[in-house]
Amino acid sequence: MSDDYVEVDFGAGLRRLPRWQQVLDLTPHRDGLVPAEGPVDWSQLDLLPGCLTVDWAGPQRGVVEAIARHPTIRFLYWRDAVGDVDLRSTNLGTVQFEGPGLGNVRLPESVETLLLLDPPAAPQVEAPDEGHGLDLRYFQSGSEVLVPDGLRRTRTLWLRVGGTVSAAALSHLTDLEQLIITFDDPPGTLTELSELRWHDRLRTLRLDDAFGLDSEGLPDLPGLRRLELSGTRRTTAAVVKGRYKGSGVTVSVSGAKGESWLAEHMDNPFRDWIEDSKGFGRAAAGAYARARRAVEAIVPETPGALAAAEQGLRGLVADLSSINDKYELIDTLYREQAWDAFRALAARLQVPEQQAEEWFDSGRRF
C-alpha cells in the first residue's frame, strides 16, 4: 500500500483513507467509518496525523477523550449532542453543537469560536473568562433566545433567528463589541430596541433582512462606529442614512427593497436568489409559490393527503432541477436553502422528516 494511504477500522470494517486527510466524518451510521452502535476503536486516529476536523453525532462514545489525545484536532462539529460535555482537556479552537439534547458544556482554554445551532431552551456553557475572547454564533430557528450566563463577556455575537427577536435577550452581555442579527423569516423585527442602550461598547451592528426594523427606535449608542443594513426597506435606509449623516458612524446599506417588491416576495425563502440573477431567482421564487399554494390546499390526515403532498413537494424539486439545468446557479448554499424550504413545507403537512428527505433527494439534479 502506498505511504500516502492507510487502512483504518474504527469498528465498521476496514477503509482506505489518505494518511493526511484533514476532515474526518465519524458520524455514526450504517455505511460510515463508525458503526451506529457498539465499540469504537479510537486508536485508529493515530494513523491519520493530518486530521484537523472531526464530524460527530449522538452520544459521546469516547469521542472527547480521543480528541483530547490528539491536540492537532482543532475543529469539532457535533450534531444531536446529548448530555453534558467537558472539552477542557482538548485543544479545540472551533466547536459546534447542534440539537436540543445538549446538557452543560465546558470549553477549553484554546477555544476561539462556538456555534450553537438550535440549542436547548436554557443552554449552560462554561468558557474561559466568561467567553471574553470567544466568537459566539447562536442560530435558533425560532425567536426564543437565551445566551448562556457563562458567556456574558463575549465580545462578538452572530445571532440567527426566525422572524423576530427581542434586544432584551442580550441585555446581560456586558462586553459586546460586534453584533450581527440575521432574520431567516419575515417580518425581520428587532423588538425592545431601547435595550440596546446597555451595550455602550458596541462598535459594529449589522442587521440582515430586518425588513421590520423601526429605524427611529434605535437608541443612541455612544460606541457605535459602523451600522450595516443588508436587506431592508428603502424608506428605512433613507431614515438611517439621514440620522447618521455627519456623525462618526459609517452606514452601509445593501439590498434595500421597495414596497411593491416586498409585497410580492417577502414570504418567499428564495427572494435573495433574485440578486444573483433575475431570471433564475424569479423562476425559483415562482416554483416555491406554486408549491406553497399546492401545500396550502391540502388538509393533513385526510384520505389522499400524503399522495397529494408527495406530488406537490416533488413538483418543487422537479421545477428547481429544471431551473438549475438552465442557469446552473444552485450551489451548496442554495441547495441547503432549498432543502430548508422543502422541509418547512413538508412539516406543514406533518410529513416525517425522513420521508421528506427521501422525496427531496429522489430525482434531484442540483
pLDDT (mean) for 21-39: 93
Coil, strand or helix: which one is 235? helix
Mean pLDDT, rounded, for 141-162: 94
Q: Can you read off the three cell numbers belonging to residue 244?
A: 447618521
Task: Flag whether pLDDT at 1 surpasses 60.
Answer: no
Average pLDDT over residues 318-335: 96
pTM value is 0.87
Average pLDDT taken over every residue of the chain: 95
Residues 159, 165 contacting (CB under 8 angstroms): yes
Q: Determine contact, residues 95/114, Cβ cutoff 8 Å.
A: yes
The residue among 51, 48, 47, 45 whose CA lies nearest residue 72 is 51
DSSP state of 150: G
| Range 336-342 average pLDDT | 95
Distance CA 321, CA 324 (A): 5
- In this prediction, residues 194-207 reach a mean pLDDT of 96
Boundaries of every domain in the chain: 127-264, 271-361
Residue for grid cell 441547495? 335
228-267 confidence digits (pLDDT tens): 999 999 999 999 999 999 999 999 999 999 999 899 889 9
Q: What is the mean pLDDT of residues 88-106?
A: 97
All cell numbers assigned to 333: 448554499
Mean pLDDT, rounded, for 90-118:
97
CA nearest 150: which of 119, 186, 123, 169?
123
Residue by residue, DSSP assigns 238-291 as HHHHHHHTTSS-EEEEEEEE-HHHHHHHTT-TTGGGGGT-HHHHHHHHHHHHHH
CA angle 355, 360, 361 (to 5 degrees): 100
Backbone angles phi, psi at 85, to 5 degrees: -135, 120
Q: Residue 317 is which amino acid?
A: V
> And the C-alpha cell for 171?
441585555
C-alpha distances (whole Å) from 205 to each of 124, 139, 157 are 26, 17, 10
Predicted confidence at residue 3, as pLDDT, reads 75
Segment 130-149 shows an average pLDDT of 94
364 vs 343: CA distance, rounded Å: 15
Q: What are the start-end ranges of the H helices in 6-150?
A: 63-68
CA Rg, the chain, in Å?
A: 23
Q: What is the pLDDT of residues 269-279, one digit of tens each?
A: 999 899 889 99
User: Residue 314's pLDDT band (boundaries 50, 70, 90)?
Assistant: very high
d(CA 255, CA 230): 6
CATH number for 127-264 (one of 3.40.50.720, 2.40.50.140, 3.80.10.10, 3.50.50.60): it is: 3.80.10.10
